[in-house]
Every structure is written in C-alpha cells, then in structure tokens.
Amino acid sequence: MESSGSKKEDEGFGVWPSKVADLGPAPNLWQNNSSLCKKRRSQDLFNRCEKENLSSWIPENIKKKECMYFVESCKLSDAGKVVCECRYTREQHLEEALRPHAFQDDEWDPKRHIQEVPTDAFGDLIFTGLRQKVGKYVRVSQDTPSSVIYDLMTQHWGLDVPSLLISVTGGAKDFTMKPQLKSVFRRGLVKVAQTTGAWIITGGSHTGVMKQVGEAVCDFSLSSSYNKAEVITIGIATWGTIHNRDSLVHPTGGFPAEYVMDEEGQGDLTCLDSNHSHFILVDDGTHGRYGVEIALRTRLEKFISEQTKERGGMAIKIPIVCVVLEGGPGTLHTIYNAITHGTPCVVVEGSGRVADVIAQVAGLPVSEITISLIQQKLAMFFQMFETFTEGRIVEWTKKIQDIVRRRQLLTIFREGKDGQHDVDVAILQALLKASRSQAHFGHENWDHQLKLAVAWNRVDIARSEIFTDERQWKPSELHPMMTAALISNKPEFVKLFLENGVRLQDLVTWDTLLYLYKNLSPSCLFRSKLQKVLAKDVTAPALLMHHVAQLLRELLGDFTQPLYPRSRSSDQPRLLPVPHVKLNVQGVSLQSLYRHTSDDVTFTMDPVRDLLIWSIVQNRRELAEIIWAQSQDCIAAALACSKILKELSKEEEDTDSSEDMLALANECEHRAIGVFTECYRKDEERAQKLLVRVSEAWGKTTCLQLALEAKDMKFVSHGGIQALLTKVWWGQLCVDNGLWRVLLCVSFFPLLCTGLLSFRERRLQAACGLARLRAFFNAPVVIFLLNTLSYFCFLCLFAYVLMVDFQPSPSCCECVIYLWLFSLACEELRQLLYDPDGCGMAKMALLYFGDFWNKLDIAAILLFLAGLSCRLIPALLYPGRIILSLDFIMFCLRLMHIFTISKTLGPKIIIMKRMMKDVFFFLFLLAVWVVSFGVAKQAILIHNESRVDWIFRGVVYQSYLTIFGQIPAYIDGVDFNLDQCSPNGTDPYKPKCPESDASRHQPIFPEWLTVTLLCLYLLFTNILLLNLLIAMFNYTFQQVQEHTDQIWKFQRHGLIEEYQGRPPAPPPFILLSHLHLFIKRVILKIPARRHQQLKNKLEKNEESALLSWEMYLKESYLQSQQDQRKQRPEQKIQDISNRVDSVLKLLEMDRLKQSGSTEQRLSSLEEQVTQTGRALRWIVQTLKGSGLGSGEDTPTLAPEQASQGQCLELDSRQEAGDLGDACHVNARHLFYPNSPVLRFPVPNEKVPWETAFLIYDPPFHTAERKEEASVDPVGNALEPLSGITFNAMDGTTDRRSFHGCYTVQHGLPLNPMGRTGLRGRGALSRFGPNHTLQPVVTRWRRNQDGAICRKSVKKVLEVLVVKHPLSEHWALPGGSREPGEMLPAKLKQILLRQFWPCFESLLRQGTEVYKGYVDDPRNTDNAWIETVAISVHFPDQNDELKRLNSHLLAYDPRMSIQWQVVDRRIPLYANLKTILQEVATLYEAHY
C-alpha cells in the first residue's frame, strides 16, 4: 500500500522466507470405512459437534475491535451522516460508547479508545444466488496472534498443512490481461496448487488480482478434475472495507451466513470474492480504511512459513513464493520485502505496471538500471506518471536495483518466451532456484530441493532441475526420500529413485520395514486388522513384525510358514525410535534409519517381497506394479498378492475399495500367467519346476499351491499347468498311452512285460518285472481305475444284498459289504489325518469338511451305520433295510465325483451343480403357488378334514402333481363319484368327499371358482414358473459354459492330488496299505511327505539359476506388454496427438521468439538513438563549457548484446550485475539491522560523494551500547566530537583508514566508499574506521586413510567457523579487538586462555590475504568497518593442529564450533566469502 489510508489501488503484502523444519510420521489413527448411512450419520454428528466447538472456542480465543468512545468527526460519511473518528455512525456504536465517561473531552486515540471484545462474525459462508459452495469465515482483531489463526485453520476448519504457500499480490483494481496470458496464468496457478497441496493467499475481494485468482479457481471447479483435489484459497481482507458485512454478524456463529454480492452499490467498499474458500476478515475498529490486513497477513505468512509439513516420514518447513501481477507502489514494496527476507518472487510479464517495469529491466546489469531508465519505464507503463515526485523515482530505482541484484530470487515469467509455457513450472522452478542459491553445508542444498519436489509430487521438476549432470546422487542419499515417497504413495518418484540407483535390497532394513507398517494409510483395512492383533497381544507394548506375520499368514493361508518369525528376546532387533525421527536439513534426518550395526538384524530375507506386500495390503496399484517389476520370484509374488487381495476384499466394507482390490488381484493373476507363458514357451520342463518349487520367500509354499488357495482359475487352467497335472496323473507312464491299454494291463497285469505300455524313464522302459509293476500300480490313473472298478463292484454287491440276499442274519455277501465299508471308512480317516505340510488337525479338519464330496462320504457312512444298527435288531429289520436303501442312493451319487475326471462329463457335472442353486430359488417361488392353491382348493372342496396325511395329500401332493397333468377328477364336478371317497372321512384309504347334496348326491361347491383357480394356477406354474426355470437354466448354462473349462481344470487338480497320495490297493484290499501306513507313522514315527511332483525343494544353485532365468523372462514379458500398448490404436492416436501438439508448440515458440526478437531489436535501437542524442548534447555542452562537464550526465551506451536482440537469462547476468556494483551494496540496504530505522534510498549512480544529490537527506541514527566508555559519543552535537582526531592515532584508537585519508565534513568523517543513506555511527562503536581482525584458520580435508581429499583435481580446504546463538549464519572467529590486544574478543570466546599466546604467535606467522574496507550492513556515512584477514594454515596433521583442536571450547553452550569444507555455498556472510575465496586461491584449493 502506498499509505495506510490510501484507496484500494494496490494489494501489497509482506512475505517471509521459507525455512525447513521437522516432519513427523504419518497419522496413526485409523479411519474405519463404513456404509453410506453410517457415514452420513457420523458426518452429521461430527458437524453438530464441530459447530458447538466453534461457537465456544472462537469467542474465547478470537477477538474483534470495537470503538468504545464516540468522537464526532469533522467529516461526514458518504451518505451525509455524522460519524465518529472511527468512521462508524452513532447507531453502529455500543451504548456505552455514547455515554459520558473517563474519556470525556479527550482527543480520539485508537490505542486507547478501541478495545478488543469477543468476535461476533464467524461460521460457514454461502453466497446468495450462486452455486451452493460453503466457505469459512471469521472476523479477527488485527492484533490476533498468528498461532491462533493457524490453529483455527488447521484444527477447527480442518485444512491440511500445505506443502507450499503461494502469496498472490498485485493490483487491487480491475485490470486487463491478454486472453492467452490470462488463460496460462489461471491454469498454471490452479495446477501448482492442486498438485502440491498449496494454500493460495490473496486479499479476498472481488477486484483486481484477487478476482483473477477467484476466476481461476472457479474455472477449475467446473472442470472434470474438481473432485480430485480442492484448491484452498484464503482471502485476508479488511473488515471495515467489506460491503454488506452486516449479514456476516452472528454472535453464536453463522451456520451458514448468507452473503449478497452487490458490486453496483458497493461504492468505495469492496465485495468478497465468491470463489475463495476461506476468509480472514481483519478488524481494527474503523470503517473504510484500507490496508489494515497487511501487517496481520505478513505475520501470518511468516508464521506459516516456519511451520512444518509432516508427511511420509519427511519434514520440510513450508516454502513460500510471491506471485506478482500488475500492481503499484504497494506491490513494489511487497516485492522488495519478499526479496529482502529471501522469499522468491515470480513476476508475470505483460500483466502491467510494476510487474512490467521489473520485467523490462530484470535482464540488465545493475549498473545500467539508472534513474533515467526507471523514469522512462514508469512513463511507459503508468498513466499517472506525472504524480511521481523525484524522491519517489529515486526510491523506486533503489528498490528495483536491490530486487534485480538478487536474481536468484527473481523469476520473470514471459509467456511463450525463453521456453516458458506454464506458470506452475515457473513457480516451482523459482523456489528451487532460490533454494539452490541458499548457502548450505555439503549437499544439504540439493537434499532440500529434492524434498521440496517430493513434497509437491512433481517428478517432472525433479527430472529437469535436480537429477542433472550437475549433481551425482549416491543411492544411500536417496533412501530417506525413497521412504517418504513410499509412505505418501508417490509411485513416479519411486520409479525415479530406482532409475537413479536405489536398490530395494539396501533400502529395506528391519527398522525401515517396521516404520513403514507403523505408517500405513489411515483408511487401510490391514491397519485396523493389525490394531486388533496388537490389542490381543497384551505382552507386546508396540507393533512388531511377528504381528504382521501373523496377519499375513491368515491372509495367505495356514499352509504357509510365518514370513517374519517371532524373535527371541536375546536376538530381537533393536528398533530405532523411528516415529520421532524427523527429516530436516538442519537436524537429525531419516538417515538414522539406515544405520547398520553388527548386533542388529538389519536386513529381511527378501526386501522386494516385503515392500510388495506392504504396498499390496494398502491396495496401491501403481506402487505394487513398480515393486513387482523388481522382484525375483515374480510368479509366486503375483499369486501371493492375488491371494492377499482376494482375502482382504471379503472383509472390506467399502464397495469401491473391494472392487479395486479384486481388479488388482485379477491383474496380479494376469501378470503371473504372462510370465509363466513366457517361461513355458522357452522351456516346458523348467517352467513346470517353477510351479512345484518350494519358495522360501513365501512361507515355504509353491506357486501351484498359492494359485489353488487363491482360486486363480485362469492360471490353473493354463496349458502348462494342465500338462504338469496330466504328467502327475499318469505317474511314471507316458501320457500318450491309450486308456484301453491301461485297462488291459489292469485286467491282466502280465501284459506289462510285453511292452504294451511305455514309460517315461528309460530304466523302466528297459526293465521288466517288479520295477514296472510297482511303477504301474503307483500311477494315479491306475489307482483311479482300480478304485473305480472296486467302487462299481461295491455298488453291485450292495444292490444284490438289498434286493436278493437281505436275510434276518447277515449273509456272507453282506459281511463282505461290511468289510468293504470299513475299508472306505479307514480311507476317509486316512485322508482326514493326512498332513504333509504340518498344518495341524484343526486346519486339516477344516479343509477336509470344506469339500462337498467328503461331507457326502461321511453322511453315507454314518447313514450306513444307522441302517446297520437297525438291521441287527430283529424288530427293526425292515426300517434298517429302508435306511440302507436310501444310503445306496447316496453311494450312487458319489459316482459323479468319479466322473469329474472325464473331460466330457466333468464340465456337465459342474453345470448341473450350478443349476441346482437355480432349482432351490425356483422351489421357493413354486412353493408359494403350490401352498396357496392347495390350501384354497382344500378349504373350498373339503369340510373339516382332520387326517394330517390326507391334508398333506390334498394341499401339497395333489397340487404338485397337477403341474404335471394329473388334474383331480372331481374338481369340476363332472366325474363326481361317491364310491371313490369317504363321506365322513372314516375310511383311511379314501379321501373325504367334497361338499355335496346328501339327498341328490351332487356336489354343491362352486365349480366355476375351482376351475378358475385351477386355470390360473396352471397358467402361472406351467407357463410362467416353468419357463422362468428354463430361462434361469439357460442363463446359468451360458454363463457357466464360458468358464466351465476353467472350473473343470481347476477342480481336476483336487482329484489328481487325492489319487496321487492314495494307497495303490483298492478297497477292501486297501486295509493292507492302511496297516502299512499305521506301522510307518505311529510305530516307526516316519513323517508324511508330499510327493515331489507337486512340491519339490531345489538345491541353492539350481534354485538361483532357475530364478534368474525367470527374472530374465519377466523382463521379456514386460517389454512385450509395453510394445503391445504402443501398438494399440488408441495409444497410436495419443502419440500422434502428442507429436502434433509438440510441433505446434515449437512453431508457436518460433513465432513468438521472432516477434519478441523484433520487438527487442526495435526497443534497443530506440534506446541507442536516444542515448546517442544525449551523448551529442553532452559533448556540445562540454565543449561550450571549455571542457568542464558534469560527470553525472555522462551517458551509458546500450550493451552490444542487447542491440543484437538476445534475451539473456537472469543467472547469466548475475556476474555482470555484481561487477556493476563497484560501490558498497550491503551498506545501502534500506532496512538497517536490528533497528526500525530506514535508510534514505541511494541508487548506484548517486553513491559517490562527488555526484550531486540535491534531495539527499539521510536520517541520523546512533544505537545505544552498554560499554559507553569504549565507544564514541552519540554525535548528534559537534561539541563531544571536537576532541576526536581523525586520520591519525587517537590515543590507543587507530582512526586511520587503509584507503588513505578520508574527508571530515562538519566534524564528521565521510565514508570513503560513498553515501549509505544513514548518518551517525549506527550500531558501530566509533566514528570513522572500525578496525577488525579476521583469522582464517584452515587445514586440508582428509579421508579416513589420512589422504587429502580432492574435488575437480584441486585439494579441499576446511575452515574453522563459529555460529553465535542469535545468528542464522556461520562466521569466522574474528571481529573487533580491545586496544592493545592481539586477539579478537570472539576468538577468545572459543579458545582456552592457555592457548592464547600460541595462537598470537600463529597470527604473526600467518599470511595477510586481505586488508581494506568491508561492505557491512552496519556501515553509515560516518562510520564503517575495515578489516585485516590473516590466513593461518595447517598443512600437516602436526602437534599444533592437535593442540588447537584440544583447546577449542565455547564459553557459551549455545555457540557452535566446527570445521567446514571451503565451498562457494558455505553459509557465511558475503564479505567473509570473498576472504575465503582469496585463501582458496592462495593455496590453489577448491572453491
């Protein structure tokens, strides 16, 4: 603002630098997913509680300003009313403000008469007549602490901590922009806010730059990407300048408050912008006074920039950037403040006024930015240029010079020029450029830049700006950022880090993995399950990896071993306090996660597997794909992921999440199929080894077992897997043997010696006798055929006994049946107890009874036992036979399981099973009609039938048979016959007669009604329901038929595995095998083992070679997938579109460059012509004046490069600008350090005392110092200074300058380097030169072996530096000296007294590297600093260096002392860097 009371011409705000701070771990609270109704109820409850909290919290903590004393103003309001000095009317004051009180007859003073009271305007905000977008607002006092406002925004308004703060400033009045520039600005601003999670802060009104920002947000909200992320736009406006603000006043909070935008009637006030999401309305108790919010906004931005963004284990202090559009004097002041405090600024060229003035001169050296040039630019871009005074032009020139001088903080966005097309890229590049220019030790600067890019999730910026040839990253340096990218789910950064050398095997340590699981996504189902597991384990104080292993085993299945076994207390890994570790450039970093000690378990068995599981349980598709591509055991990994996801999807309540999990599971299965297909094409035998190989990484299971447990039918139905199952099915026999040959050999086994059958192994093919016999009868296909023949024999014998030979006492045949059944029962018991994987009885029982056919077998055996029990009791012989007859049906149904092996019958049986479900649903519908019709018919025809059996017949049985055509003869009264029924229902073998006439023996029931009911019944059952059943069967058939082959192939494995582990002898001879097994397992204690054909543990070397082969083919699969994607028509169209866009951009850039080059050439030509004319006039005037010309009018010719029309980059002009500052720079900064005093602006050309500067009127400032005896007098009067002798030794004080005699004017010495804009001695001790000594103590940097480190061939120096408690910079241990002392006072503070004489000797022997003037910000016109820099170098690791290190001790514990590498980015004051550069040059060292 130009002044505190000026109109709304300009929105100028102070902004502050961004710093880095710690960031803790992700939130540890799990947010449960629930149904929509639960969410709505909980949300409504939360909203009510939130409103109640706000209604109590805000009035207690936030105040407003209220005028407490009405003093009539001499000016009337715009409406002609009498107002107070605060510009409010009488009616707008409180009653107590109108009463006589202690302030009577006092002049109105805002500090006394305006007081703070609880605020009365806060809540939700809705703009009437516009779309119902609810915002937040609050009225605050201008003195409200920033911490309170920040808590309100983050804790009560629920805003996430931003990753970036964008302060938009500029013109506060409406201005015009080119449509193309406006579109680019809006799109870029919203994009950077959306992608980085930034807050945009503006003035909040519906004018000027604030309106531009609001319209940008509005355009974004109407786009398709609005639901992805909300743009937080915070408007900070003055309460007293808001039109229609009375509607916002609600003492208990407006929920919501309706605000009406009335731009036509606003007058000198402003309306709030409807596109902002949050408003902070700053109140100072006055009305109509603009600029009240500036101070609070400056403080708030500074406070926010000092806060931390905590996410993903990474911490940064929130960076801030100032974006400038158009603007006036206030905007220039804002830019100057921002640049001064280290905040980068992005100036949009073409937006007008101040922005264009700065953009025009930003590429020039500072020496060429003159008062006359700025005057020309102001006349060009400002319509009200006539109002600019000479002093204001000088001030603008000085500020613009200082702004341009710090080019690293200034970015000019030129749309379409210099390769700039997007504002968002320009903003982020400006922040990185500013960070790159900051002084840091070592590589912290690059780390900070990378942290910013990760926090913003802008991998494009990281690729183009950070991962360049300028910086070579070590993989270990990227580990903390990699961890942060994993936790915050930024797959593009994970891919980038992997491309730059990060190895997951090095990244994932035991501590890191535990840290990742402690920072699972809050909405993750796996997180809530972990919390339940942890709650059950009362002995564990915190989450450990065996808790994760327990949960993973539940998901993968009990057939797997725990992935992370429970560690013993003696060798349990030491877990670092990871949740409290911060990632901070200035503090402890996440590098502590990667310490490796000999006593710790630092690596898991398979880090890639661990990360893959961690990403899968959170359903992170892109991250899982990237990590899976790094895995070695990739087929097993994909199948395990499919199993985990399918299990989690069953428990996930959120439908969308469940569908995403199933989709990702299917994708994992597809990837497993793809890799296996590549392997099978290459080598069938090795591919099949992959299926049955025991995978140690996945709980000692196999790929085949994982696929079966996950029910991955597509994978199991793959031809390669079916070939393996067929090979297992045939055992040692060749698969091309005909089934008829096997049947012949089964019938007459001596045929085995004839060569009728062929075997796979040559030894069996050549052998004969026992070996062939054993191989033949151990083949699963032979075992199956023998059991099938045995089962048919059992059924035939059972049927014969039931129908022919069922005697009162069991016959021989029946006893054989009993023996046969006993062998079947023993076999079922063997299957129940068979546990080759060591799963336990409970798991085996669960698996056994989970199979339908096993349950059918158990039911048949139990029913047989029930029938046998009845059969052995003579009185129950017949019921026993009935039960056994029913049991025979169940045994016959068991044949269907045998037929499932058939490729023809198997799929049909599957279809039939699926159709049975349709039949059950159909029977429910049919029962409704059968019962309803049966009851109605029975009630109409029969009166009081009491026999239950005949009621069932009439209601259900006859109604059901009617569907199939058996219509009751008497229902229509035509075939009525009393002989066929019992009139009274006494005959048990006849139904009761219908209602009839006893005399005429004719039916009297309404035939028309019964016939109508019958017709309707047949219509709905025969036509509707039966056709519905047929349609259901047809639909099921069509649906199942597509997958029947897969289902059959999947279920085929169960039958093959059953007979592969079954004893070779069929029942009842299987009892001999059972006896053999009993001796082996029970007596000899020999454990059961699974056949190697389905589970095989390979040797280490063989397994390693097999996995390497698999990994190679996985890469081939991924490459083929990528090639296929490129060949897709839609991808080709997209590629062509991208290429066309690139060509169009290049053409547009070329056109803009040509037009820009022409404009620059014309502008340069005009400037040269103007300067040529000025030069000629000067020559003429000089000649006329006999050669005496004033130096101040000497023209400066335009630079040659500018005349060529080249647009120079800011960085390339940095050195030129610095060379143009031949005079002191820091000593002319407008803000004097640690003082509210402002210097008089002194541009470069007005620095020399010889140059006339008529308006030069600097303020006088002399700071008070405690040691009054050792300092000069204040100097505001000449008498005390008359005793000082300048340019000579004044007692013990040396007042001589290294630059010769200086001028003494009016009793005060003049700075030999020129004007500084401030008189007096400032914060210095003495007028004239203040002499200091800077000892530069250096040594060579050495590695662990003692060798000198080198960089770019040159040796690397280390310098001794100190940091004082109140300073942000490091410094050399030098400064002023007491009279007669050799050592500076600051050096004495870090050296023990006994070492002082020794160091004095070192100083005398040292080399003087600099002596002269120091450009210090404390210098004034009458006092300045001059120094002598002496180099003390230790070339060897001698005793003196060791003594120095042993005697370094800071008296103040807050003071830091350390050796630091001499580098151009070392964080020292600029004047000290010059001295270090001289030292590096002296010793030919790196700098």
pLDDT in tens, 52-72: 778 889 999 999 999 988 888
What's the confidence (pLDDT) of residue 517? 92
Percent of the chain with pLDDT over 90: 28
C-beta separation of 371 from 397 below 8 A = yes
CA atoms within 13 A on the CB side of 1237: 24
Q: What single DSSP character describes residue 1211?
A: G
Indicate if the pLDDT at residue 1297 is higher than 70: yes
Amino acid found at 134: V
Residue 47 tokens read as 């909203």
**Span 556-583, mean pLDDT?**
56
C-beta separation of 16 from 335 below 8 A = no
Give pLDDT tens digits for 358-385: 999 998 888 889 999 998 888 888 887 7
Q: Is the dihedral of CA 1201, 1205, 1208, 1213 positive or negative?
A: positive
What's the confidence (pLDDT) of residue 137? 94
C-beta separation of 1351 from 1273 below 8 A = no
Where is average pLDDT lowest: 5-14, 604-613, 1460-1469? 5-14
Q: What single DSSP character describes residue 1199?
A: P
CA distance 383 to 387: 9
Query: Whose CA is closest to 717, among 1010, 369, 1048?
Result: 1048
Query: Whose CA is closest to 1223, among 1199, 1240, 1243?
Result: 1243
Q: Which of 93-107, 451-465, 485-499 has the highest mean pLDDT?
A: 485-499
Indicate if the pLDDT at residue 141 is higher than 80: yes
What's the confidence (pLDDT) of residue 1106? 93
Pairing of strands 278-283, 1308-1309: unpaired
Indicate if the pLDDT at residue 148 is higher than 50: yes
φ, ψ of residue 764 to 5 degrees: the values are -75, -35
Crossing angle for the helix pair 852-871 and 877-893, to the nearest 10 degrees: 160
**Span 449-474, mean pLDDT?**
82
Model confidence at 1092, pLDDT cuts 50, 70, 90, reads low
What's the confidence (pLDDT) of residue 837? 66
Q: Which of 259-268, 278-287, 850-859 has the highest mean pLDDT?
A: 278-287
CA distances for 910 relative to 586, 707, 709, angstroms: 68, 20, 19
What's the confidence (pLDDT) of residue 359? 92
C-beta separation of 497 from 481 below 8 A = yes
Q: Is the dihedral of CA 648, 650, 653, 654 positive or negative?
A: positive
What's the confidence (pLDDT) of residue 11? 46
Where is average pLDDT lowest: 194-198, 1363-1367, 1368-1372? 1363-1367
Model confidence at 622, pLDDT cuts 50, 70, 90, reads very high
Q: Which of 750-764, 917-931, 1033-1047, 1098-1112 has the highest mean pLDDT?
A: 1098-1112
CA atoms within 13 A on the CB side of 186: 20
Model confidence at 591, pLDDT cuts 50, 70, 90, reads very low
What's the confidence (pLDDT) of residue 394? 92
What's the confidence (pLDDT) of residue 45? 53
What's the confidence (pLDDT) of residue 577? 34
Q: Is the dihedral of CA 514, 520, 526, 532 positive or negative?
A: positive
Where is average pLDDT lowest: 268-282, 395-409, 765-779, 988-1002? 988-1002
What's the confidence (pLDDT) of residue 281? 95
- DSSP H helices, 1375-1469, are 1385-1388, 1396-1405, 1439-1446
Where is average pLDDT lowest: 25-29, 657-661, 932-936, 1452-1456? 25-29
Residue 1279 tokens read as 């008498």
CA dihedral 1260, 1266, 1272, 1274 (to 10 degrees): 30
Give pLDDT tens digits for 295-308: 899 899 989 988 88
The 10 Å Cβ neighbour count of residue 1397 is 11
The 10 Å Cβ neighbour count of residue 732 is 18
Give pLDDT tens digits for 724-735: 999 988 888 888
What's the confidence (pLDDT) of residue 1364? 77
**Span 684-693, mean pLDDT?**
92
More confident residue, 587 or 95: 95
Query: Whose CA is closest to 272, among 230, 239, 313?
Result: 239
Q: What single DSSP character describes residue 1080?
A: I
Pairing of strands 165-171, 199-202: parallel
Indicate if the pLDDT at residue 974 is higher than 80: no
CA distance 851 to 986: 51
Where is average pLDDT lowest: 41-45, 591-595, 759-763? 591-595
CA distances for 628 relative to 484, 973, 1376, angstroms: 19, 79, 64
Give pLDDT tens digits for 523-543: 899 999 999 988 888 887 788
What's the confidence (pLDDT) of residue 31? 37
What's the confidence (pLDDT) of residue 5? 40
CA distance 834 to 828: 10
**Span 757-770, mean pLDDT?**
76
1411 sits in which H/E element: strand 1407-1414
Which residue has 């399950």 as its token pair?
Answer: 529
Crossing angle for the helix pair 179-196 and 208-221, to the nearest 10 degrees: 70
φ, ψ of residue 81 to 5 degrees: the values are -95, 155
Residue 1438 tokens read as 């001698």
Cα R_g (the chain), whole angstroms: 46
Indicate if the pLDDT at residue 313 is higher than 90: no
CA distance 1124 to 1137: 19
Find the angle CA(1480)-CA(1485)-CA(1487) to the nearest 5 degrees. Answer: 65
CA distance 345 to 453: 18
Model confidence at 1213, pLDDT cuts 50, 70, 90, reads very low
What's the confidence (pLDDT) of residue 1002? 65
Indicate if the pLDDT at residue 166 is higher than 50: yes
Model confidence at 865, pLDDT cuts 50, 70, 90, reads very high
Residue partners of 1149: CB distance under 8 A and separation at least 6: 416, 419
Amino acid found at 996: S
Which residue has 């180099």 as its token pair?
Answer: 1431
Indicate if the pLDDT at residue 1379 is higher than 80: no
Query: Whose CA is closest to 1340, among 1437, 1213, 1239, 1467?
Result: 1437
As a residue count, the chain comes to 1487
Residue 641 tokens read as 């992921």
What's the confidence (pLDDT) of residue 581? 30
CA distance 725 to 731: 10
Query: Whose CA is closest to 702, among 1087, 1117, 1093?
Result: 1093
Model confidence at 1163, pLDDT cuts 50, 70, 90, reads low
What's the confidence (pLDDT) of residue 733? 87
What's the confidence (pLDDT) of residue 30? 35
Model confidence at 223, pLDDT cuts 50, 70, 90, reads low
Pairing of strands 254-259, 232-238: unpaired
Amino acid found at 1480: A
Indicate if the pLDDT at residue 1203 is higher than 50: no
Indicate if the pLDDT at residue 1256 is higher than 70: yes
Residue 1063 tokens read as 């004893």
Which residue has 């296996």 as its token pair?
Answer: 676
Mean pLDDT of the chain: 81
What's the confidence (pLDDT) of residue 998? 63
φ, ψ of residue 238 to 5 degrees: the values are -85, 125
Pairing of strands 1304-1305, 996-997: unpaired
